[in-house]
Every structure is written in C-alpha cells, then in structure tokens.
Amino acid sequence: MKKIIIITIAFLLGFQLVTKADEGMWLPLLINNNIVEMQKMGLKLNTDDIYSVNHSSLKDAVVIFGRGCTGEIVSPEGLLLTNHHCGYGSIQKVSTSSANYLQDGFWASNKKEEIPIEGLTVKFLVRMDDVTNRVLKGVTSDMTEDEREKLVDENSKKVIDEATKNTHYNAIVETFFGGNEYYLFVYETYTDIRLAGAPPEDIGKFGADTDNWMWPRHTGDFSIFRVYSAPDGTPAKYAADNIPLNPKHYLPVSIKGVHKDDFAMIMGYPGSTQRYLSSYGVDLAINQTNMTIVDIRAEKLRIMKEGMDADEDVRLQYATKYAHTANYWKYFIGQTKGLKRLNVKDKKLAEEAEFSNWLNQNPEEKVKYDEALTLIANAYDEIEKTNLTRWYYREAIHYGPEILRYAESFTRLSELLTDKNATEEVISKEIAKLKAGVEDHFKDYNETIDRNLYAAMMRMYHQNVPLDQQPVYFLKISDKYKNDFGDYANYVFGKSIFADKNLMLQFLDDPSGKKLTKDPALEAITAFTLKKKEVMEPTKKANEMLAKGHRLYIAGLREMYPDKNFSPDANFTMRLSYGTVQDYYPADAIHYEYFTTTNGILEKEDPNNWEFVIPDKLKELIKTKDFGPYAEDGVMHVCFLTNHDITGGNSGSPVMNGNGELIGLAFDGNWEAMSGDIAFEPELQRTINVDIRYVLFIIDKYAGATNLINEMTIVRNPVPPKKLGPPDKKPEETTQIKMN
C-alpha cells in the first residue's frame, strides 16, 4: 500500500492552502454568502435578482441546452443564444450536401423559415432546494456504503415524487461535497426547439482544432435557436400551432463594451470538476489515465480525418463525431501538462499532510476522520490494477468502432428471440423501436472509416490491456488471425448485418435469434462487455472505500477551515461564477491582452487551411471597417478574457455585466490552465468569451438578419435596473438599435 505522508510538507514547501477569491462555481440559491463581495466588485443587483422562485430573475433566462451545454434567452419571443459548437450537432443534423448549413450558415428571415430540430431539448430551472436532511434520514455511520446508497436512493425518489406530483416538471436530486449534502433540482423541459440562425463554419469554427483551448482567439462561436411552447405556454412536441415561448425573463444585450477590471459574472451548467481529488487520484491521472485516453483518441482522429479529407460528404457526416473526439483529446493533453507544470500532486500532498497534522492535534476530529486518507490510498491501490481495462473498454470498445455500440443496442432483441416465453407483442415492439433508429444511425455512418477504426482499436486493445484481462474469445481471435487485425476487421464487416443498412432492414423484416447470436459484431461486444464486468468486479469494493474516504475527507476539510466559504464540485447543475475582465502572463516575458480584434482574423488567414479560411464578405467588411454601431473607437472586438471559474458544460453560458446584461458568451478555457478542473490557478485561469458585439455584427452586417436583432433589447448606456424582469416596453434609459 502507498504510504500516507503525514509530515508537515505544507510548511516545508510553502504551499498556501487558502483558496483565492476567484475560485468558485456557486449555487445561486446560496449566493447570499458571496453577494457583498460581488457588489464591492461592481454588481448592481441583489440576490433576488439573481435567483428567485417568487418573481423573474436571471436564473429564468439561463437554460440547459441539449445534453451538455448552456444557453440564454435574449428576447421576449424565446430567442436563444448558445455556442456554435453546442449547436453544431443540430446544425449538422439538418444539413445535406445540397443545403449545407454547417458550411454555409443559416439565417431564418422569419419564424416560418426556422427549422425544427428533432430530439433537441431546452430545460429551465424551476427551483432548487436543500434536501440534505430528508435524503440522509435514517443514514448512520455504521452502514456499509451499499446500504447507505440504497437508503439515499429511496429517500431521493420520495423527494422527487413529491416535487413533481401532478405537474409536468421533472426533477433530480444531486449530491454535493462527496455525499455530505444533497439538493433537489426541478426543471421544465421544452422539446420544440428550432434553428433560427448560425454563422458559416468559417466564422463559427474559425481556428478549429488548432486554436481550440488557445488564446488569442478569433472565433464567432455562437448559434441561434428559438424555444416554442403550446399556445398556453406549456412544453409541447413540435406542432404547427405552437407559439414562440414567452419567457419569465430574458437578458438585455449590452453593446457598451468590456474593459479591463470590469466586473462580470457567468451563470450556466458546468459539467464536472474534481477539486477535492487526492494526490493518489492526481498521480493516476498523470501516469496512466490521461495519456491512455489521448493515445486512443489520437488514433481515432487520424482514421476519421483520413476518410473526411478524401470525401466532402464524409466530412459532413463525421464533422460532429470528429469535433467531440478532438475536444477532450486536446483537453487531456493540456491537463496532464498543467498538472505536472504546476506541481499539483505536491500541492495535494501538502494539503493531505496538513489535514493529518490537524487530526493529530484534535482528538475528537481524529476519531471521525482518521480513516479518510487510508481508505483513499487503499482504494487507489486496487483501482490502479484494472484502470487500463476500464479506459480501453470505454474509449476503444464502447466509444470505438460504431458497429460494436450499434450491435450492443440489439442485445435485448437477441434475448427476446431466444426466449420461448417472449410474446409476439413484446418482440414486435422491440423490432419497431430498432427499425425507427436505422435511418438515423446510417445517415452519418461510413463503413470504410468504421472498418479501419475496428482494426486499429482491436490492435491497441490487444497490445496494451493485460492479457489476463482480455476476453478468451478475443485471445482466440488474435491467435487465429496471427494478430492481423485488419484481416479480422474484414471478416467482421464481411459477415455482420450491423455494417450495412440494407442487410439491417432485411433482418428486421425477418428476424432470427440464431443469426443475431452468431453475428460477429454482437459476439465481440458481448465478449468484451462480460469480461469487463468480470475484471471490474473487485473494484466495487474499492470504489465504496473511495466514496467513503472522499466524503470523510471533504467533511474534515470543511471542519478544518470553518471560516472558509467552500464551493462544491461541478455536477451539471446551475452555478454562478464571478470575477473580472483580465489579461494574463502565461510565461516569462509573455503578456496576453484581454481582447482580440478582427485584425487578428486577417493575420491568421490561410486559404490553404480550412481552419483559417475567411468568407469574402467578412473580409470585405473588416477591410472597409464597416462595423456599424458595434465597434469601439473604430475597432471591432472579437473575443475577451475573464478570470471566471468554469468548465465543460459552461459552453454557451451568458457572460453578464453588473446589471445582468449580456456582454458575451463563454466558450473555452485557456491552454495554460487545463489542470483547472482539479486545481484552480487564479493567476493563469482564464475564460475565453466571444464578445456580444461581434455576435451582433455578424448577425447584422454579415448576415443581414436584422429580424433577429430587432427583437432583442439592445442597451447602449446601461442604468442599474430597480427590478429585473422582461420589460413590457423598452426602458427609457435603453437605446434600442434597429438596423436596416
């Protein structure tokens, strides 16, 4: 077992354990703990203006967009802004080779031209409640983790049922501080969402993978949708008589501009952070997990790009898949470098040493928390043994070649067809469900790419996962084909029904349990999944130890620093971060300004590289300085930096000034602080935002979509509002700009 260091490393290394004020993804419900500081920094609002269940507030304009982004309502007719990369999949979904909205952009000149996006949802937060006491009712310290989890789940279900009874709402109970606290989140979900506008890829994705996570940026990362409701304002499926949503609140849009040290805040849905991760967790991330993910994804990207470069139609098919894979491929490279460069493991060791010293000086606390670090250390000893299998299964098998995941979706049908007691009704229902998904699956599927992915992933799996953790089936296959996984892939794709749309439809018209069971793709995914479950079985106990140790450690830290305002880890629930507009110094003798301009777009232009192509019209507007009212002293700003604490999921989040007016959209973090999800570094951590003035410039001067501009409340010279809420008419102190 790894030895737990309990000497006073904190003092020897001089690490400061008190977190600086910039850190924090705060629950809006509890923002009163931060409001005085925020007001000193420039906030003109009060807590009720930010979060209220009794009247409209900022929370009512901020939404979960799709399954992993944030959006904001910006008009009294349900107009919604989010990032281009958040809307990317939806735009790609309705694009064709003859109407390529991803490449050429899309602008609805009226509501009738807006395009419904099947499957896209927008969630509004109705309320959040602290339900810790109700969820932990009956929980005792001598329970096993399994017993504790079951009781927590039962109690949570009761809370959810009570909150949603006789309503159309949905709800979830989320855990905070490692299971020390629990909060209920009630949502109203809208399903009629339509595309209203999107810049061409050359604007919305300018810089693409090269600039991803980097500063300076010159990307117009925005897209526009509209939320529709039934005539009575409730959520409804798409229908011709649905109406634009009348929101409880929408954000005015400020074109006054941003300047260094200006107060700014972000509300959104950050996905996941691990700020309380132990030194053992950091060590595993650096030495095994992160680069395993990077290596697998690098190979997947290479194969996809090879196919995309050869065929424009294939590029459109795989655009979203490639972007999703590339985003966190680069992220984990940056995170690993950051963790090493910033000595995060040593800082975690220092914190753990200080924690142990504190326990030794406080006998009562030692009784409660003494086993925390021991549990964590022992858990990681066990987890490390099967960590490669875990990540290779996830990245190379489950999210590797699509044929495997698609075959896995037929497992239920395979069981039914071989079950003598299964009724025709049940079987027919399952077949109908699978038939409904065939068209959607094969729309963006390329057999050649997937065949090459299959061969590559199998090769990597066999070379890197311990042999005793590989399926016997796979070991026999490897031996049979003499490790020629290209040959093996050809066999699978030559025999499987899952690689061909016509074969799939023929099978579903006349299904056979025997044929399905013997399909080589289903056979393979079944073998890998069963072996993975077997291999990971011992880690169940380790994960229970880790969960308990983690919970005790966080509880102990909060007792050790009773005066500190602790921020919970992100878990895709609404949070508020606040800070200022700032430049930064990424390295010795290097200084980055806090904003970029359209001059940088021209400087980056490369007609031979699709990532840096500039549309002719945009180039002309920049050269003639035809910026309309959106420039500042004749200069068109594109992006700006703030020192906010955000992470994935915050993409599309509104950046607001002290009056709660929209000044930008958050879309990225900076390369030097990629370790920020584990350790926040205030001197380096920056959020990259697209300036709302550049967004309006593109909508207005580039696209001519003045119909979208005209329904927004554009603020030139903001005056602090007395009360927030969607105004019945434009306030006198607001200048409404309507462009011809």
Q: Which residues participate in catalysis according to the annotation?
A: 85, 221, 651
Q: Which residue has the tokens 């997990």?
A: 289
Tokens encoding 430: 């399952």
CA distance 549 to 545: 6
CA distance 737 to 700: 11
CA distance 635 to 625: 8
Instruction: Check if the beta carbon of residue 558 is closer than 8 Å to that of residue 566.
Output: yes
**Phi, psi dihedrals of residue 641, rounded to the nearest 5°:** -110, 145
Tokens encoding 346: 């040593």
CA distance 199 to 737: 21
User: Between the CA of residue 499 and those of 127, 255, 316, 504, 524, what are the distances in Å?
Assistant: 46, 52, 19, 8, 14
Tokens encoding 221: 């990362």
Helix pair 290-310, 447-464: axis angle to 10 deg: 160
Q: Which residues make Cβ contacts (< 8 Å) with residue 354, sequence separation at least 6?
A: 8, 10, 17, 560
Please report the sign of the dihedral spanned by the C-alpha atoms of residue 89, residue 90, residue 93, residue 95: negative
Tokens encoding 256: 């006054």
Q: Are strands 590-592 and 714-715 parallel, antiparallel or unpaired?
A: unpaired
Report the alpha-carbon angle 329-331-336, nearest 5.
105
Using the 8-state DSSP alphabet, how is residue 625 labeled? T
Exposure string (b/e) for 495-505, b if CB count within 10 Å is 16 or more? ebbbbebeebe
CA distance 215 to 672: 9
Instruction: Check if the beta carbon of residue 656 is closer than 8 Å to that of residue 678.
Output: no
- Other Cβ atoms closer than 10 A to 582: 22
Residue 200 preceded by cis peptide, ω within 30: no
Tokens encoding 202: 């050359």
Tokens encoding 191: 């399903």
Tokens encoding 155: 């109690």
The alpha-helical segments, DSSP class H, found in 311-370 are: 312-341, 344-361, 363-369
**Phi, psi dihedrals of residue 93, rounded to the nearest 5°:** -60, -35
Please report the sign of the dihedral spanned by the C-alpha atoms of residue 483, residue 486, residue 406, residue 201: positive
Of 197, 219, 237, nearest to 705 by C-alpha is 197
What DSSP letter does each residue of 403-457 carry, written as one string?
Answer: HHHHHHTTHHHHHHHT-TT--HHHHHHHHHHHHHHHHHHHHT--HHHHHHHHHHH
